[in-house]
Amino acid sequence: MLGVIGGSGFYTFFGSDARAISLDTPYGEPSAPITVGTVGDHEVAFLPRHGAGHEFSPHTVPYRANMWALRALGVRRIYGPCAVGSLTPDLGPGAMVVPDQLVDRTSGRDDTYFDSGGIHVGFADPYCPTLRAAAADLPGVVDGGTMVVVQGPRFSTRAESRWFASQGFSLVNMTGYPEAVLARELEMCYAAIALVTDVDAGIDSGSAVRAVDVFAEFERNLVPFKKLVHEAIDQVQLERTCTHCLPHEGIQLPFDLP
């Protein structure tokens, strides 16, 4: 089964014929009931990251519960659509990007399942190459970029934006971590698909980023963005062949994965 975790403004994925499943996990309940439907030949589980009515801010999303619930349901490959700010004038609002790197600037988030046992996962390349390729090969998609993940819920200062841009980062986001690393710990393939909603404050000399404008831009692009996610899923092979996202080979884990 494939999974899709929808970001800000991306609260539904299927019609009324989808079935809803409520799950509990050792880490509490996920953000919302998971809906299951089909996209082409794939059975797909959809979970709105922030809740069905955007109840969760980026720093309060129950990331561990979300990823555990998807794995328990049978999901092994996940797309994580998300809204991002741009750190370069080359990527304006409406651009769709498949990043290949991330930088974590969050703090205090529960970002591992392994609080004991001395388990370490490789994370040099944080996104599944197979899922990335399926999305990045689509027309009009920008292939590659570094997404810096900030704590939120505030937006960056102009100085922070300029600093991020000076490091070569191209996107800024609030939810891409720890989602990606938790997927890796659970041996699930994961790739982000980013929709640019604004040019960050330090890059655009005009007015600062406003939440109302971000949501409005996302809403304007929601239909083509959902279409892109559908098309990416259609490009994914039915059988999972990726070994990049299986970090525990030969390792005795302190508990069984769901």
Catalytic residue among 111, 115, 198, 234: 198
Determine if the peptide bond prior to 48 is cis (ω within 30°): no
Residues 258 and 255: their CA atoms lie apart, in Å, by 9
Tell me whether residue 50 is annotated as binding.
yes
Q: Is 198 designated active site?
A: yes
Tell me whether residue 198 is annotated as binding.
yes
Greatest alpha-carbon pair distance for the chain in Å reads: 54
Residues 213 and 224: their CA atoms lie apart, in Å, by 18
Which class for 4: exposed (0-12), middle (13-18), buried (19 or more C-beta within 10 A)?
buried
Tell me whether residue 199 is annotated as binding.
yes
Catalytic residue among 111, 200, 234, 256: 200
The total of other beta-carbon atoms located within 10 Å of residue 141's CB is 16
Element (H, E) at 132: helix 129-136
C-alpha triplet 181, 223, 184: angle, nearest 5°: 10
Q: Is 110 designated active site?
A: no
Contact between 149 and 175 (Cβ < 8 Å) = yes
Tell me whether residue 200 is annotated as binding.
yes
Positions at the binding site for substrate: 174, 198-200
Instruction: Please enumerate, by residue number, every residue annotated as part of a binding site for phosphate.
Output: 8, 49-50, 175
Annotated binding site: 8, 49-50, 174-175, 198-200
Active site residues: 198, 200
